[in-house]
Structure 1
Amino acid sequence: MSSASVFNGLNFSEWHEQVQFHLGMMDLDLALLKEKLAAITDTSSKDEKSSHKAWEHFNRLSLMFMRMTIANNIKSTIPQTESAREYLKFMEERFRSAEKSLAGTLMAELTTMKFDGSHSM
């Protein structure tokens, strides 16, 4: 976990990739790969109950990991969700467009810059 980047609002792609890698390496990515399972009932089998319990455990740990790798000033602006998959989807919808917008702005600035000879390269 110490090598995971902290999401600062500008590095979504890097953060997203590292979160998926770390959760996969820790074998906690089940909650990202599968939708929440149906609720447990009295007629649920042992396998269904154990699968549901495992999903809940992996989901809780995945959410904690993602929240730990987000800067505090951003963390407070993100709504709480019960699913790691929903949380990651919200982050992607909100910040991927911001990252693309920033990249476009920087590229436009870079391509319109002119060297005036007063500064070193």
Structure 2
Amino acid sequence: MDQALNPTAITGYLSGIEQLSGAKFKKWKEQIGIVLGCMDLDYALGEPTPTKPTPESINEQKALYEKWERYNRMSLMIMKGSITHAIRGAILDSDNAMSYIKLVEEQFLGTSKSLASTLMIKMITMKYDGHSDVCEHIMKMSDIASQLKGMDMAIYEVFLFTS
């Protein structure tokens, strides 16, 4: 049996995927890529759908299609299994792993913009009250900046310490 697909390895790989439930799409997509790559199942994500073989097709074409179809099916099962039911219900279904991951990304593009906007407003309006711990205030600001950085929005330290 292929070492990447033994039950213990599969369990280990799958436990490394944090379930997609909020604004962690980027991290989820990265983890999915790593797991599918380690399991050698990322073939369907990197190759376009091959043409369905006909009875006249040569064995090599049939084998290529069967390989792609199996990897595509397994990739979809892993992706869908790592998304909460509430979110999965909001995503259009697809029988193509490459298309499905794009649909998930489209769903989260709007969500992440909304979250980024909320975090920016929170950061801009956050002021030190003069009574609580300064270090705690700085840590809250740094946490928001870190979340924004995770969405490819850099916040410069100058902004953190002048607001």
TM-score (norm 1): 0.92
Matches within 5 A, 1:10-89: 10-89=23-102
Q: Which moved more, 1:91-100 or 1:33-42?
A: 91-100
Q: For residue 11 of structure 1, report the CA deviation from its aligned partner.
A: 0.5
The runs of 5 or more residues in structure 2 that have no matched partner are: 1-13, 137-163
Distance in 1 of aligned mates of 2:109 and 2:90: 16
Distance in 1 of aligned mates of 2:99 and 2:132: 48
The structure number with the bigger radius of gyration is 2
Q: What SS does the corresponding residue of 2:95 show, helix, strand or coil?
A: coil
- Which one-letter code corresponds to 2:101 in the other structure? L
CA RMSD, aligned part only? 1.4
Distance in 1 of aligned mates of 2:21 and 2:88: 10
- Which one-letter code corresponds to 1:51 in the other structure? L
Percent identity for Structure 1 against Structure 2: 38
Distance in 2 of aligned mates of 1:25 and 1:97: 30
Distance in 1 of aligned mates of 2:24 and 2:51: 35
TM-score (norm 2): 0.69
- Find the partner of 1:112 among 125, 135, 145: 125
Distance in 1 of aligned mates of 2:70 and 2:77: 11
Name whichever structure is richer in helix by fraction: 2
Q: For residue 79 of structure 1, report the CA deviation from its aligned partner.
A: 2.0
Q: Stretches of 4+ moved more than 6 A in 1? A: none
- Contact 2:91 2:107 (C-alpha < 8 Å) held by counterparts: no
- Which structure has more RCO (C-alpha within 8 Å, separation ≥ 6)? 1
Q: For residue 35 of structure 1, report the CA deviation from its aligned partner.
A: 1.2
